[in-house]
Amino acid sequence: MQYQAPINDLKFLLFDVLQAEELQHLEPYVEATPDVMLAIMEEMGRFAAEVLQPTNKVGDEQGCTYDPEKHEVITPDGFRDAYQQFVQAGWSGLDAPVQFGGQGLPHVLKFVVDEMVCSTNMSLGMYPGLSHGAISALFSHGSAELQETFLPKLISGEWTGTMCLTEPQCGTDLGLIRTRAMPDDDGTYRIEGTKIWITGGEHDLSGNIVHLVLAKLPGAPDTTKGISLFVVPKFLPEGGERNAVFCGGLEHKMGIKGSATCVMNFEGARGWLVGEENDGMRAMFTMMNEARLMVGMQGLGLAEMAYQESLAFAQERLQSRSPAGPKNDSGPADPIIVHPDVRRMLMRQKVLNEGMRALALFTGLQLDLSVAHPDADSRQDADDLVQLLTPVVKAFLTDEGSNNANLGLQVLGGSGFTTDWPLEQLVRDGRIARIYEGTNGIQAMDLVGRKLGLSGGRLVNTLFVLLQDYVDNNPDAVHLDSLRESVQSLQEATLWIASNGPQDPEQAAAAATPYLRLMALTVIAYLWSRMASTAAEKMASAVDSTALLQSKQVSARYYFEKLLPETRWLLADIKSGKESVMGLSGEQWAA
């Protein structure tokens, strides 16, 4: 089936619930009127369905091709043309800085575009997606000269960017990297080393590839405090000469086969320092946090496509009769959507997808407020929420995105397990999102081990003030009692970690994943209460009584009755401590 962008849900969420139209009153976003934002969303919906989606299956079937003699990678049929249409239409610079050729539109709008791209061709979306992170890193940390040299072409899409962190001997523990940067007489550096799993490290879509590379200078501390960041282009910008960075091969993956995942060899390649010496991790985290939010949208995008496919199948596939009696008297059987167990799977997909979209766009809106709100305290509050929720968006949306793709496959039954239907590709493509840019366990550790204690606990307190203010000042809000109980559970879990973690770090580490999930479910409950309350108000005022508003009432009830109760056992899991997790001794594992 052809992808249908969820425009009605996006309009309701952005303009009725989140009041994103207020962004037009902030100086950087004066052009982001509701009409402009809606037009952009509708155009990307069309573009995604007509240009990106048709290349998705061929990308999976063909994959990328590596030429070992030329060290070149050829992308699947149609990718190059689709990418050129993407950049010519200006999608690559949507929220990029205006002074370097970007459009300067709100980040929350970029989140919407990311979802649509990932719904229709996640593999192709990887190439401009990594460029976006490179743009942010250079804009935040690069010198004026580096910005002038690289940003205009990265923003236009003429060049693409990569993020080169991982090496064969180290993944998350970047203090173990061996790539070295030797100073040259002209102020540049010679980069020596090997990086693996580099998305878009080599391809034929753009005229140049700009690598952001972590490396260590001579005499630097042999830890993360000794890491510097360098920009290393495939072709040198001043003369177009080939730089000494080459693809050594492609990874063979279970999914996203149209995305070139490369081994990259730096053989004395010329590079330029980004930021200060030994300050590379801070600069790279600018890029990584961008990537983590984008990966969250990948999980949501694939889950949305899986829902659309499985819903269409369930409405058409005839199988057995409804337990309540025949619903399709003129046919030999009823469509499977009448069966409660199929409804259970479809409802879980629909309700979680809409809740995850709300969480993502709420976070995107905070990102915009953190840079554009005129009040310093409001900017700080928004930034606190972005920092706190970034690992939550990445982990929860990719966990549940993967789960929802699997549910979609289950709705199709045996058909879902065949390549005749797109569900199995969505399952394979989405599985990586739970792993890269820091596995979801790492995201949970970032939340518990770093974000909770940051600035004396200010970040999580900002969230609690927001949630408690809503509970205290909206007595007529829908499902308020259930939300209040969930907020209390999150507060109790936070206090337990704060009390037990400092004495025994393993206690906090063992609680990290259930704690992240508890936070995600609670914040989504807050957003579902807002969505359902807004829908009820619009229906009561007779302004509107559409199927969408009616569905919000039913969907919110499903969330609070069927999904939010999980927070109770998550709290019990956290408070039970580490003992059963860490209890087995070495010889007991294989007993």
Domain boundaries defined on the chain: 7-147, 160-279, 448-578
Helices then strands, each counted (H, E), the chain: 17, 9
Half-sphere exposure of 131 (CA within 13 A, CB side): 32
Q: Mean pLDDT throughout 471-497?
A: 97
Q: Is residue 544's pLDDT more than 70?
A: no
| Residues, the chain | 591
Q: What pLDDT is recorded for position 545?
A: 66
CA angle 572, 578, 584 (to 5 degrees): 125
Residue 113's closest CA among 132, 137, 134, 140? 132
CA-to-CA distance for 174 and 189, rounded, in angstroms? 20
Residue 527: its pLDDT value, please?
Answer: 98
Q: Name the catalytic one among 31, 148, 437, 492.
A: 437
Same fold, 7-147 and 160-279: no
pLDDT of residue 586: 87
Predicted local distance difference test score (pLDDT) of residue 281: 87
H-helix or E-strand spanning residue 481: helix 480-500
Q: How far is residue 159's CA from residue 209's CA, in Å, rounded to a whole number?
A: 6
HSE-up of residue 196 (Cα within 13 Å, Cβ side): 11
The phi and psi torsions of 257 (rounded to 5 degrees) equal -75, -20
Angle among Cα 549, 554, 555 to the nearest 5 degrees reads: 90
203-241 in b/e form (b: 16+ CB < 10 A) is: bebbebbbbbbbbbbeebeeeeebbbbbbbbbbebeeee
Angle of helix 480-500 relative to helix 458-473, nearest 10 degrees? 160
- pLDDT of 541: 83
**DSSP per residue, 323-356:** TTS-S-TTSSS-BGGGSHHHHHHHHHHHHHHHHH
> Which has the minimum average pLDDT: 189-198, 345-354, 533-542?
533-542
What span, in angstroms and rounded, lies between the C-alpha atoms of 498 and 506?
Answer: 13
**pTM of full prediction above 0.75:** yes
* 79 closest CA partner among 18, 124, 137: 124
C-alpha separations of 86 from 18, 47, 207, 478, 512 in Å: 28, 8, 15, 42, 39
Taking the CA of residue 236 as centre, how many other CA atoms within 13 Å lie in the half-sphere pointing to its CB?
12
pLDDT by residue (tens digit) across 13-62? 999 999 999 999 999 999 999 999 999 999 999 999 999 999 999 999 99
Q: How many CB atoms lie under 10 A from the CB of residue 98?
A: 12
What pLDDT, in 10s, does the model give residues 169-223? 887 777 789 999 999 999 999 999 999 999 999 999 999 999 999 999 999 998 8
Q: What type of residue is 22? A: E
**Exposed e or buried b for every residue in 301-320, given b needs 16+ CB within 10 A?**
bbbbbbbbbbbebbeebeee
343 touches 297 (CB < 8 A) = no
Q: What confidence score (pLDDT) does residue 285 get? A: 83
Tell me, letter by letter, the H, E, C secondary structure of 490-540. HHHHHHHHHHHCCCCHHHHHHHHHHHHHHHHHHHHHHHHHHHHHHHHHHHH
- pLDDT tier at 450 (50, 70, 90 boundaries)? very high
Q: What percent of the chain has pLDDT over 90?
A: 91
Note whether 409 and 306 are within 8 A (CB).
yes
* 526 Cβ neighbours under 8 A, 6+ residues apart: 466, 467, 470, 483, 487
Lookup: tokens for 488: 């209390």
Distance of CA 404 to the CA centre of its chain: 15
pLDDT greater than 70 at residue 339: yes
Could you say which DSSP state residue 453 is in?
T
Establish whether 50 is a catalytic residue.
Answer: no
538-543, long-range: CB < 8 A, 24+ apart: 538/16
Closest CA to 53 of 117, 126, 6: 117
Helix or strand or coil: residue 198?
strand
- The tens digit of pLDDT for each residue in 390-442 reads 999 999 999 999 999 999 999 999 999 999 999 999 999 999 999 998 999 99
pLDDT tens for residues 103-125?
999 999 999 999 999 999 999 99
* pLDDT at residue number 328: 84
φ, ψ (nearest 5 deg) of residue 251:
-75, 145
* CATH architecture designation of domain 160-279: Beta Barrel (2.40)
Mean pLDDT of the chain: 96
Mean pLDDT of 495-523: 97
Which residue has tokens 């140049």? 208
Q: Does CATH place domain 7-147 in 3.20.20.80?
A: no
pLDDT at 542 over 80: no
- Residue 543: pLDDT band with limits 50, 70, 90: low
